[in-house]
Chain A
Amino acid sequence: MSDIFTMGIDIGSTASKCIILKNGQDIKAKSKINAGTGTSGPDRVINSVLNASNLNLNNISFIMATGYGRNTLQIAHAEMSELSCHAYGAHFQFHSARTVIDIGGQDAKVLRLDENGMLVNFVMNDKCAAGTGRFLDVMARVLEVNIEDLEDLSAKSKRDITISSTCTVFAESEVISQLASNADKCDIIRGIHHSVASRVGALARRIGLKEDIVMTGGVAQNKGVLSALEGELNYKIHTFELAQYTGAVGAALFAYKRVIKNS
């Protein structure tokens, strides 16, 4: 029996992620490009995984697209919401996951899954940027640090600083005031992490938490936010190496399911 290759591509607002899955089990290739919907990102990320796996499009039995830009990919065979894909993708990488917290560039979501990784309930942020990756972007810029450094800097914090505003613009003003009063950047960053954790925590509580809780999405790489969230929710929160690819993994898995179903 020859191998079945499926592709899952997650076209987000700020990044494109792609996975090639072999026989619905092994990750053959992965790639991420920091360019999302409406850019060359999706095409480039597809080429990247094909090159890395020494395959071409004809070898791929099914391409499933997800993410904000999922309707824009011509070559996709089908598309599914990133909610279902994140659920399934998280389950694949962390079998005991029953709650998934995903903080993306522009939104935040909390998913509940059953033991098979199927989505049973979800809640998304409403109204604004607070509690999303965008919030961290704005703050990082004000503090003149790189997003990637937020985690390490917050770990050095020695003092509690609260950034309480619900509104991102007001929060920015709070941060600036703190800087003007010579507060330590590390302390401010930890306060910002708590702010995000507070917003996302409220979202999570609305849907109810069930262990194991897993965090996915770009912001999952920031252990500062993760540990703030653990403190906020009083639960252990796990993450895993390919957290950013969760949506793409889930899409590739659903693609495989389709192939099996069709044959």
Chain B
Amino acid sequence: MRRIKNIITQFEEISNNPKKQLDNFISEGKKVIGCYPYYVPEELVYATGMIPMGLWGKLGSPNKSKEYFASFYCSLVQMNLEMALNGELDKLSGVIHTTLCDTLRPASQNFRVAVENIPFIFMAHPQNRKKKYGINYTAEIYSKVLDQLQEIASYKVNDDDLRHAIKVYNENRKAKREFVKLAGGHPEAVSAVQRSSVLKSSYFMEKATHTKMLKELNVLLSELPVVEWEGIKVVTCGIIADNIELLKIFDENKITIAADDVAHESRSFRIDASLEEKPIIALARQFAEQGQDPILYDPLINSRAKHIVNLVKSSKAHGVVVIMMTFCDPEEMEFPSMIQVLNNEGIKYVKISYDHQIKDFGQARTSLQAFADLI
């Protein structure tokens, strides 16, 4: 148990201090590339020898970024620009900016013109990603990004480099999936706050290092006896759920996160890339296989809600906690369909509004406490 605490503390230190991580990488002579949400294949960065770091905003209120955005844009994207304008991203050698939602689209232009000192790498994923031509197109845009990355790194990547990167990332994804299950089964050892920092820290670490630590943690967790736990189990869904004050409320009410459908967490490591085909195609195919995500076009139309129900049932959760990012239209537009299906299945849910600006979680505390009582 002590070793478990030890490892988790290390993860927490890292997750709470991305700046320190960045500084360390720079002092080691490494170059770091910032990656916007969603579905940026970090393998491309890794293959060049550079370190990818995730850019998912930070706690606080937009100020300088208000010169670029009206008020009704999500705080995640606004705070990313805010960090850049405050010079917090100056040490990055590049930023990969995506366009998968109506905020990210114009945000890409805002970032490009506002932040002149950081090389801008544009990545517009296709939505018709599953057809062969979609996969080819994805591979083509990934290649273009790779070209830019290679130039920044002054390193020409070959297929072996890419294959190695995919291997490293597949292992990391696997370890995280394992961890989610184990943490869900051992709330006595891993609190919601701790669970988040284990997953979040990977955005600030060299992936192989994260995997090594996580694998050790997973083994220790799997050796723990099953303990009676009087709290409830939930599935969380939303864009991001890393706010410590919010997660403390889960812990206070003994609410265990048995599984998640969170973009920052499980959505980002559900699908592996194949080692059997040309790497750039394998990565494109990995994106093609992504789904059940409000931000992605669903040719089957009904997948997402079914996915949530499956998650609830397979993780034996009692209900769903929807952490709704304020101003997030894709999540908002998928909400009615999801609750209709949850209602039909008799699965209870609660919706909490979230954005990076909130300091006082009084309302969320009331909601979660009542939700726990209800169940």
B-binding residues in A (CB < 8 A): 68, 80-84, 107, 119-124, 126-127
* B326 and A81 contact, CB distance less than 8 A: no
Q: Give Cα A127 to B367, complex, Å.
A: 14
- 6 residue pairs, one from A and one from B, having the closest CB atoms: A83-B370, A81-B369, A81-B370, A126-B353, A81-B366, A84-B373
Encoded as 1 (CB less than 8 Å from any A CB) or 0, chain B from 335 to 360 comes to 00000000000001011010000000
Residue among B324, B348, B369 making CB contact with A121, cutoff 8 Å: B348
* A127 and B366 contact, CB distance less than 8 A: no
- In the complex, what residues of B have CB within 8 A of residue A120's CB? 374
Q: Give Cα A148 to B366, complex, Å.
A: 28
Q: Give Cα A55 to B193, complex, Å.
A: 43
* B373 and A124 contact, CB distance less than 8 A: no
Q: Is the C-beta of B362 less than 8 angstroms from some C-beta in chain A?
A: yes
* A84 and B370 contact, CB distance less than 8 A: yes
A selection of 7 A-B contacts at a CB cut-off of 8 Å is A107-B363, A122-B367, A124-B363, A124-B366, A126-B324, A127-B326, A127-B353
- In the complex, what residues of B have CB within 8 A of residue A68's CB? 362, 366
Interface centre among B350, B363, B366, B374 (most CB of A within 10 A): B366
- In the complex, what residues of A have CB within 8 A of residue B351's CB? 123, 126
* B366 and A82 contact, CB distance less than 8 A: yes
Residue among B326, B348, B353, B366 making CB contact with A83, cutoff 8 Å: B366
- In the complex, what residues of A have CB within 8 A of residue B367's CB? 81, 83, 122, 124
Q: Shortest beta-carbon distance, B345 to chain A, in Å?
A: 15
Encoded as 1 (CB less than 8 Å from any A CB) or 0, chain B from 286 to 327 comes to 000000000000000000000000000000000000001010
* B373 and A119 contact, CB distance less than 8 A: yes
- In the complex, what residues of A have CB within 8 A of residue B353's CB? 126-127
Q: A127-B326, A127-B353 are in contact. Are A122 and B370 (CB under 8 A)?
A: yes
Residue among B324, B326, B363, B374 making CB contact with A119, cutoff 8 Å: B374
Interface of B is mostly: helix
- In the complex, what residues of B have CB within 8 A of residue A121's CB? 348, 374
CB-nearest residue of chain A to B252: A71
A-binding residues in B (CB < 8 A): 324, 326, 348, 350-351, 353, 362-363, 365-367, 369-370, 373-374
Q: Shortest beta-carbon distance, B361 to chain A, in Å?
A: 11
- In the complex, what residues of A have CB within 8 A of residue B370's CB? 81, 83-84, 119, 122
- In the complex, what residues of A have CB within 8 A of residue B362's CB? 68
Q: Shortest beta-carbon distance, A49 to chain B, in Å?
A: 24
CB-nearest residue of chain A to B324: A126
Q: Give Cα A121 to B242, complex, Å.
A: 26
Given A68-B366, A126-B353, 19 extra CB contacts under 8 A: A80-B369, A81-B369, A81-B370, A81-B373, A82-B366, A83-B366, A83-B367, A83-B369, A83-B370, A107-B363, A119-B373, A121-B348, A121-B374, A122-B370, A122-B374, A123-B351, A124-B363, A126-B324, A127-B326
CB-nearest residue of chain B to A66: B366
CB-nearest residue of chain A to B372: A81
Q: Shortest beta-carbon distance, A131 to chain B, in Å?
A: 14
Q: Shortest beta-carbon distance, A190 to chain B, in Å?
A: 29
* B373 and A80 contact, CB distance less than 8 A: yes
CB-nearest residue of chain B to A125: B363
Q: Shortest beta-carbon distance, B293 to chain A, in Å?
A: 23
Q: Shortest beta-carbon distance, B344 to chain A, in Å?
A: 14
Q: Give Cα A119 to B365, complex, Å.
A: 16
Q: Give Cα A123 to B370, complex, Å.
A: 11
Q: Give Cα A107 to B324, complex, Å.
A: 18
Q: Give Cα A68 to B360, complex, Å.
A: 11
- In the complex, what residues of A have CB within 8 A of residue B374's CB? 84, 119-122
Q: Shortest beta-carbon distance, A18 to chain B, in Å?
A: 19
Q: Shortest beta-carbon distance, A181 to chain B, in Å?
A: 29
Q: Give Cα A124 to B348, complex, Å.
A: 15
Q: Give Cα A202 to B159, complex, Å.
A: 56
Q: Give Cα A38 to B367, complex, Å.
A: 21
Q: Give Cα A81 to B371, complex, Å.
A: 9
CB-nearest residue of chain A to B370: A83
Q: Give Cα A120 to B343, complex, Å.
A: 13
- In the complex, what residues of A have CB within 8 A of residue B324's CB? 126
Q: Shortest beta-carbon distance, B232 to chain A, in Å?
A: 14
Q: Give Cα A124 to B324, complex, Å.
A: 13
- In the complex, what residues of A have CB within 8 A of residue B326's CB? 127
- In the complex, what residues of B have CB within 8 A of residue A82's CB? 366
Q: Give Cα A115 to B76, complex, Å.
A: 43
- In the complex, what residues of A have CB within 8 A of residue B348's CB? 121
- In the complex, what residues of B have CB within 8 A of residue A124's CB? 363, 366-367
Interface centre among B324, B326, B369 (most CB of A within 10 A): B369
CB-nearest residue of chain A to B326: A127
Q: Give Cα A80 to B324, complex, Å.
A: 24
Q: Give Cα A68 to B367, complex, Å.
A: 11
Q: Give Cα A119 to B362, complex, Å.
A: 19
Q: Shortest beta-carbon distance, A262 to chain B, in Å?
A: 17
Q: Shortest beta-carbon distance, B118 to chain A, in Å?
A: 33
- In the complex, what residues of A have CB within 8 A of residue B369's CB? 80-81, 83-84
Q: Give Cα A127 to B358, complex, Å.
A: 11
CB-nearest residue of chain B to A119: B374
Q: Shortest beta-carbon distance, A50 to chain B, in Å?
A: 27
- In the complex, what residues of B have CB within 8 A of residue A127's CB? 326, 353
CB-nearest residue of chain B to A112: B374
Q: Give Cα A123 to B350, complex, Å.
A: 8
Q: Give Cα A250 to B330, complex, Å.
A: 39
